[in-house]
């Protein structure tokens, strides 16, 4: 992986996985048998995901430590990322002179049908966004693609005048449809591929897959709605 990934000091890009990265053979890993014919390859193994999140937690703590933080987890795809990130933040806080007081709330954004992002975004769940007024907000998202969904969410939150808003995204996709939005913290920048696993889904399937993988055409057709 190291030969095909740039070292990217820019936290908004994270670890950059190049377009020519072939991924890992599925036979090198264990994964649920019911997906055996539905995946092309492993793009990012689970262990690398967890290690990268630990570094993100360190970066966030260096920037935002010693403050009260409202973490807004974007469901459903962001729940595993958020859980691991919060756990690492707690560990750093317990074992250093930098501390952060955290509260976590959950919100759901709906913008995909099958493997295509739509122009409509629905915000569901969570408390009234007005409760974010004056708060330091960290939005935790699974993937930023075009950027339109995140910009719409930020616009909705900014109306209530929080003290600060930062965005952490596990993945940032390089896509020609991007409007240029970049999160403040990114785990990985990936090619324009439809990926599943580590709570990222295709029509609610593949959330139980630990690795981040590329779905194949058979899988798309099998679970299409």
CATH number of the domain within which 152 lies: 3.40.50.2020
Q: How far is residue 146 from each of residues 68, 141, 207, measured CA to CA in Å?
A: 30, 13, 22
- What confidence score (pLDDT) does residue 95 get? 79
- What confidence score (pLDDT) does residue 9 get? 59
- What confidence score (pLDDT) does residue 39 get? 98
Q: Where in the sequence is the domain holding 165, given as residue range(s)? A: 2-16+23-222
Centre a 10 Å sphere on the Cβ of residue 197 and count the other Cβ atoms it contains.
Answer: 27
| pTM (two decimals) | 0.87
**Would you give the end-to-end CA distance of the chain in angstroms?**
34
Distance CA 45, CA 150 (A): 26
- What confidence score (pLDDT) does residue 99 get? 74
Sign of the CA dihedral running 59, 102, 86, 156: negative
Centre a 10 Å sphere on the Cβ of residue 102 and count the other Cβ atoms it contains.
Answer: 15
Q: State the Cα torsion 59-63-65-68 to the nearest 10°.
A: -120
- What confidence score (pLDDT) does residue 2 get? 43
Query: What's the number of domains the chain is made of?
Result: 1
Q: State the Cα torsion 13-16-156-62 to the nearest 10°.
A: -50
Q: Kindly state the helix (H) or strand (E) to which residue 172 belongs, with its residue range.
A: strand 164-173
pLDDT along the chain (225 residues), means of 10: 51 88 96 95 98 95 85 93 95 80 86 57 68 92 92 90 95 90 95 96 95 97 93
């Amino acid at each position: 992986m190291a030969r095909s990934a740039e070292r990217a000091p820019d936290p908004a890009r994270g670890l950059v996985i190049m377009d020519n990265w072939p991924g890992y053979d599925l036979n090198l890993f264990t994964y649920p048998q019911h997906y055996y014919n539905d995946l092309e390859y492993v793009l990012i193994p689970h262990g690398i995901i967890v290690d990268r999140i630990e570094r993100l937690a360190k970066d966030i703590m260096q920037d935002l430590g010693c403050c009260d933080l409202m973490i807004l987890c974007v469901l459903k795809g962001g729940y595993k990322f958020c859980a691991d990130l919060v756990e690492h933040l707690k560990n750093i806080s317990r074992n250093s002179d930098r501390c952060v007081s955290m509260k976590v709330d959950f919100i759901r954004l709906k913008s995909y049908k099958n493997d295509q992002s739509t122009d409509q975004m629905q915000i569901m769940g969570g408390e009234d966004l007005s409760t974010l007024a004056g708060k330091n907000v960290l939005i935790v998202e699974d993937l930023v693609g075009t950027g339109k969904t995140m910009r719409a969410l930020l616009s909705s939150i900014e109306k209530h005048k929080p003290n600060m808003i930062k965005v952490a995204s596990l993945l940032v996709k390089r896509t020609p449809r991007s409007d240029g939005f970049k999160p403040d913290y990114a785990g990985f920048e990936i090619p324009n591929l439809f990926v599943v696993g580590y709570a990222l889904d295709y029509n609610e399937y593949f959330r139980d897959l630990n690795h981040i993988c590329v779905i194949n055409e058979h899988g798309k057709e099998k679970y299409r709605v």
